[in-house]
A and B are shown apart, each in its own frame.
Chain A
Amino acid sequence: MAQIRIENLRKEFGSFTAVQASTFTVEDGEFFMLLGPSGCGKTTTLRMMAGLELPTSGTIHIDGEEVAQKPASQRDIAFVFQMFALYPHMNVGKNISYPLRAQGVPKPEIQARVMEVAKILGIENILDKPVGGLSGGDRQRVALGRAIVRRPKAFFMDEPLGALDAGFREHMAEELRALHDRMGATTVYVTHDQLEAMQMGDKIVVMNHGVVEQFGVPQDIYDWPATLFVASFIGSPPMNVLRFEGSLAAGDRQLVLADARIDLPELREGLQGGLALGVRPENVLFDDTSAYRGRITATEYLGTTQIVTLATPHGEIKARLAASAPAKAGDTVGLRFDARKLTLFGTETGRALRSAGNEKVLAHG
């Protein structure tokens, strides 16, 4: 198992830059998520780490060894593809043993290791079957088996659950995470599904347009987004963004919006011009004493909670309230924002302003 360090990794395809200057570190044994919308460069980054693409510049260290220009076969890593890429002309057992045969492992040992892996994954009874007729879940298990059997330094997975149907994904995600916890293997996992990333990851890198937007643990990324992109990409519904023109200075603890005073975490830097206040739906509270008013336009009932859509002087926002809270379309209510969890952004740069709340997160992000 190994630590993976990526520094200034860059990839150009002709005039198109797929990844620009990515830097992050995957610690030994971590379950690490590369998250972003399609085309953001996350898969290209993973493929460079695996050796399926050569970087234009930058370095990749796996277990202290620089491997950026080495072929995939010499990196001692395993890769699980979205479409599984099981060899169609071999049966399950042959598929799993294939990497061992490449390394010239003696036959009896191959047998033993394939059996051991099959037992872990619960697929002992299908080892002789052709891969053609397998269910999605079993294909996934065989693909994992082929990865595990060689005891590599790290596992790379490219949307491995993408080809499964919704109900089964949940189950497989749990299985995958449990497997990781048991083996303690460094795992890098690419996904565009923010829920999957939050649910499974120890750490997340959020990418957009080939740029690393933020890097950290799921809670920090959710609570303290470093950019407007992260704010709107993570969370369902995403963070509300109230845009306004104004001027804020370091040390400010309050902000005036539509004649209402709104408490903030103490700012560590100021900005003049286009600003945006970011607030998660669950941090929007009803408070009739507040001067900031909004009119309810719609409510969605979700069982334990409800999502209330409000029209405010700064556009539409969504609040997540207990299902029992009284909210009727057409009513006008006072709104208060939880002062401990607010983030301010400069709209020009899209970056979050440092404050007492997020300074620790942004310092290592």
Chain B
Amino acid sequence: MSSYSITEPSKPQKWIAGSLVIAYALITLMPLLWIIATGFKSPADSIAYPPKVFFTPTLEGYVNLFTTRTRQTAEFLAANPPQTWYAEIVAKYDMVIAGPSRFGERFLNSVIIGFGSTFLSIFLGTLAAYAFSRFKVPLKDDLLFFILSTRMMPPIAVAIPIFLMFRQLGLSDTHLGMILLYTAVNLSLSVWLLKGFIDEIPQEYEEAALIDGYTRFQAFYKVVLPQAATGIASTAIFCLIFAWNEYAFAVLLTSGNAQTAPPFIPTIIGTAGQDWPAVAAGATLFLMPVMVFTILLRKHLLRGITFGAVRK
């Protein structure tokens, strides 16, 4: 007879729990793994039926993603043999590389706008949440409700007025415009989440710092901020994911200058045949920053997602 324990699961229980977690992880990871795999297929393999699980990997998708190409005659190609490994890949299809594509630029736009608006949402959100948490703000409850109410409709419902306002203000197709827009959408989430986290931090810590000779602001950034790190990290992830993935406003408000990656990636499909490997390569690269950001902060996220219930 083995003894019964409340906290320590038995071996079969552990085994069942383990397999369930692995099975669930596989199911959720499947689309992701498929995208990553497709990025390394040749165009023919990517549309093969039945789908190919095993294939010869190639960087064609990535080369196509980062370049623009033109078709050339066999004579031209014979006269100008490809100088680089990527030119060689393209040459198989009787093409030469005409120049870089705009993917790099669009990707950089996404980074600037995504991280910029996340930083701004967190910066403003933390200050507002601290004020709501600690000070007697007149009409506090009404203001908090008002802030939350900005999320009670899909943001795209106000697309037309925003489009007109942006045109009037010269914010259309600018980085600043997109940063402001995503910040406006995220701010209510960040204020509410962060207020919850800051409420959890006992006020005595700041009072101790005030008595130890620090000003209110010093107490805020030396004592409150380090303790709110968990909440700030998880709120930042939520904000970044929204801003990074946002598609509708990006299509509507950006074109030449500040276009982000989401509206750009579908345009890769192209006119001559559907270049799925290039699309998958773009999607894979596009996933990376959020993934890296989340992995870096995952220790905080795991604790933060319980909304401070298990602090201390």
Q: Give A residues with C-beta under 8 Å from B.
A: 50-52, 71-73, 75, 77-79, 81, 83, 85, 87-89, 98-99, 102-103, 146, 150
Shortest beta-carbon distance from B228 to chain A in Å:
11
Q: Does B202 lie within 8 Å of A87, measured CB to CB?
A: no
Task: Give me 24 A-to-B residue pairs in the complex whose CB atoms sit less than 8 angstroms apart, sorted by A's number.
Answer: A50-B211, A71-B210, A71-B215, A72-B207, A72-B211, A73-B210, A73-B211, A73-B212, A73-B215, A78-B211, A79-B211, A83-B202, A85-B205, A85-B207, A85-B208, A87-B209, A87-B223, A89-B226, A98-B209, A99-B212, A102-B212, A103-B213, A146-B208, A150-B213
B205-227 contact mask (Cβ, 8 Å, vs A): 1 or 0: 10111111111001000010011
Shortest beta-carbon distance from A102 to chain B in Å:
4
Cross-chain contact of A52 among B207, B214, B227 (Cβ < 8 A): B207
Contacting residues, chain A, for B211 (C-beta < 8 A): 50-52, 72-73, 75, 77-79, 99
Q: Does B213 lie within 8 Å of A52, measured CB to CB?
A: no
17 further contact pairs, Cβ within 8 A, besides A146-B212, A150-B212:
A52-B207, A52-B210, A72-B211, A73-B212, A75-B211, A77-B211, A78-B211, A79-B208, A79-B211, A83-B204, A85-B208, A87-B209, A98-B209, A99-B213, A102-B214, A103-B213, A150-B213
Contacting residues, chain B, for A89 (C-beta < 8 A): 226-227
Q: Does A88 lie within 8 Å of B227, measured CB to CB?
A: yes
Q: Does B204 lie within 8 Å of A85, measured CB to CB?
A: yes
Q: How large is the interface on B (under 10, 10 to 19, 20 to 34, 35 or more residues)?
A: 10 to 19
Q: Measured between alpha carbons, how far is A87 from B205 in the docked complex, in Å?
A: 7
Q: Which residue of A lies closest to B205 (CB)?
A: A85
Q: Which residue of B lies closest to A102 (CB)?
A: B213
The 6 closest A-B pairs by CB, nearest first: A85-B204, A102-B213, A99-B212, A85-B208, A72-B210, A89-B226
Contacting residues, chain B, for A77 (C-beta < 8 A): 211
Q: Measured between alpha carbons, how far is A71 from B202 in the docked complex, in Å?
A: 20
Most buried by B among A51, A72, A103, A146: A72
Q: Measured between alpha carbons, how far is A51 from B204 in the docked complex, in Å?
A: 13
Q: Measured between alpha carbons, how far is A88 from B211 in the docked complex, in Å?
A: 17
Q: Does B207 lie within 8 Å of A81, measured CB to CB?
A: yes
In the complex with contacts A88-B227, A89-B226, A89-B227, A81-B213 CB distance below 8 A: no
Q: Measured between alpha carbons, how far is A252 from B218 in the docked complex, in Å?
A: 65
In the complex with contacts A87-B223, A89-B226, A98-B212 CB distance below 8 A: yes
Contacting residues, chain B, for A85 (C-beta < 8 A): 202, 204-205, 207-208
Shortest beta-carbon distance from B109 to chain A in Å:
36
Q: Measured between alpha carbons, how far is A150 from B213 in the docked complex, in Å?
A: 10
